[in-house]
Amino acid sequence: MNLLVHKSMWLLIWLRFKGWLRAQFSGKSVMRLVGAVVGAVVFLLWMLNAVMWPVLTGRRSSKLLTTTPEDVINFASLGLGAITAMTLIFGGGTKLMTFRPAELDFVVPGPYSPRTLINYKLLTLFASGLFSGIFYSIFFARHTGHFVSAFVAGVLATLFATLAGITLGLVGEISGSRKLLVLGVARGAIAAGVAWIVYRFVIAAREAQVAAVQAAEAAGTDGAKRLEAMNGAISVRTRVAGVMEETIVSVLTLPFRPFGNLFAASTFAQACLWASVCVIMVVALWSAIVFMQRAWQEMAVRVSEQTAKAAEKMVKGTRERGTLSKRLAAFAPQLQWMGPTRAIARRHLTASMPMVIFAPLLGAMVPLALSYMVRTSEDTQAPAIIGAIAGFGMLPAVIFIAPALLRMDFRNDLDHIETLKTLPFSATRLVSAQLFTPLLVSTLMAWALAGAAMFVGREAILKHIDLGVVVLVFAAMPIIILIVLCIDNALFLLVPERPMQAKGVNVAVTGKRVLTMAARLLTFGITLAPAALLAWLVYFFSDSLFAAGVTALVIAGGAAIAGVLLVAWTFRRFDVSRDMPE
């Protein structure tokens, strides 16, 4: 055992594991205890469903769920390749080799060699990979060859992706002044390989669409036969296998195929063979990292200090702006119409200008790109309809999920609430200023998504729906987003939590998120139920979709105003001396 690390390191790893277990159910608040219980129940139900589903339904009971070993190899290779590519391009692996503040104070200055410190960090990564192995082996139990081989493959695949990212980062460190050039060339080459694979799959999707249209026309007018013919012509697995057999794609995915073969291994001999290959690849990367120990030690200490400072600023809501944010801050509007509270709104707006600019572009990209990808010379109407359906289909997700991710309001100002309470503004005006930036970004993204969907499917949409109804839909988006933001901020002020509490695997935090999501959905449904009911009654008696839409819009607007007043009330009742989380 002492060949890798000193025995004191093994004790430290064991104590960290015990501390992690204790942290799952520790805490003084009742809400944390309830969250821990709910999180444990949710995890057990998920695991029971994943394990019992193949037993109750049969692994081969559905053609949709039936997978061959070749399918498992192809999809596992693509999945691991995507994870590894993202790690290499965005440099996520090097951050996992950093030290915590306590380790910087007590472990790094200790009597340990750089080799021992490297092995200690790699062993902690290996311990984290065990959870990935459990996840893969349970979640994909109905598709993999055997539970044990899937578990080993999951652990080794996670380690391989992480070690590859660390190795590339260290290669850049030892390059000295040529670091940016070396990393730029390497990441550019990886991005080019990913782009080529995506391009080949786009071509395969377009070919599948042509084949499906031709098969449907040949099948006649029978709906069931047309659907069966289209499914047979599309044949996702056949298309994926065809792309994977291409020379360039097969070369690019070659390093990941041993892990795919290990996932699909159904016999002991196959599992041993491919596990040996995977272990050799992981050990090779491990040895390369140990070989570059000096570069790693300098990088680890520097990045650890930067990460600790960034984490502290994130918890306090004072995270430093990036270069792009600083440059774009000059273009932020002055918001003179908001009066004195514009300073509060602009504080978040100037830091979020990249989102204000790029979020609409991201929203418009989905329907436009999809309509182009499936476009063929034989049919010009179907791609527009597909793009429009995809755009409007994603709209509810954007309206409901984007406000939850854009925490540019009270959720990011927990340590500033005491200061906000001292400002000479009414709670309602202050809440309006706090919610302005996430409302603006989410609305622009939703409008861009819906506008692009309208553009690509304008002929089919305007043929069946009046322009006035379309205008009402666009007018309703910011109102619904404001309701979602009010619900999120009211729940946060009632049951606050710090951003860094969500870091890592934590049963209590998971359970708390489940309860928060349930409360969010329930409150959202109760809020909009009267609007939907009265709109249906108006449509039933007047047979006017526009009148029903106006009714729903007015009632939803009233609900949004009530939501702002609710957040103002929760802000007034928030006691900094009592309600601050641990």
Lowest mean pLDDT among 1-10, 148-157, 478-487: 1-10
Say how far apart CA 13 and CA 128 lie, in whole Å: 11
Average pLDDT over residues 431-455: 86
Residue 171 has pLDDT above 80, yes or no: yes
Lowest mean pLDDT among 36-50, 190-204, 363-377, 546-560: 363-377
Rounded alpha-carbon distances, angstroms, from residue 88 to 24, 75, 172, 434: 31, 20, 12, 37
Q: Provide the residue type at 28 as one letter.
A: K
Contact 124, 13 (CB under 8 A): yes
Locate tokens 């009046």: which residue? Answer: 466
Average pLDDT over residues 16-29: 71
Average pLDDT over residues 310-324: 55
Q: Roughly how many angstroms between the first and final C-alpha of the chain, as a whole number? A: 38
**Higher-confidence residue: 60 or 114?**
114
Residue 271 is encoded by which pair of tokens? 């599992």
Beta strands in 454-569 (DSSP E): none
**pLDDT (0 to 100) of residue 248:** 86
Average pLDDT over residues 312-334: 61
Whole-number average pLDDT of the chain? 76
Say how far apart CA 407 and CA 402 lie, in whole Å: 9
Percent of the chain with pLDDT over 90: 5
**pLDDT (0 to 100) of residue 377:** 43
Average pLDDT over residues 413-439: 87
Return all residues near 282 (Cβ < 8 A) that are at least 6 apart.
Answer: 156, 159, 160, 163
Closest CA to 95 of 288, 389, 308, 361: 308
Residue 249 has pLDDT above 70, yes or no: yes
Say how far apart CA 203 and CA 239 lie, in whole Å: 10
Rounded alpha-carbon distances, angstroms, from residue 38 to 17, 21, 50, 510, 515: 22, 16, 18, 8, 8
Rounded alpha-carbon distances, angstroms, from residue 236 to 197, 264, 379: 15, 19, 21
Residue 496 pLDDT level (bands cut at 50, 70, 90): confident
Give the domain ranges of the chain. 67-311, 317-579
Closest CA to 544 of 474, 436, 488, 466: 466
pLDDT tens track for 518-570: 877 888 888 888 888 888 898 888 888 888 888 988 998 999 999 999 999 99
Between CA 472 and CA 501, with CA 444 as vertex, the angle to 5 degrees is 120
**pLDDT (0 to 100) of residue 167:** 85
Lowest mean pLDDT among 74-78, 113-117, 159-163, 437-441: 113-117
Percent of the chain with pLDDT over 70: 71
**pLDDT (0 to 100) of residue 466:** 76
| Chain-centre distance for alpha carbon 422 | 37
Calculate helix-pair angle for 268-291, 114-139, nearest 10 degrees.
150
Contact 156, 130 (CB under 8 A): no
Say how far apart CA 203 and CA 290 lie, in whole Å: 42
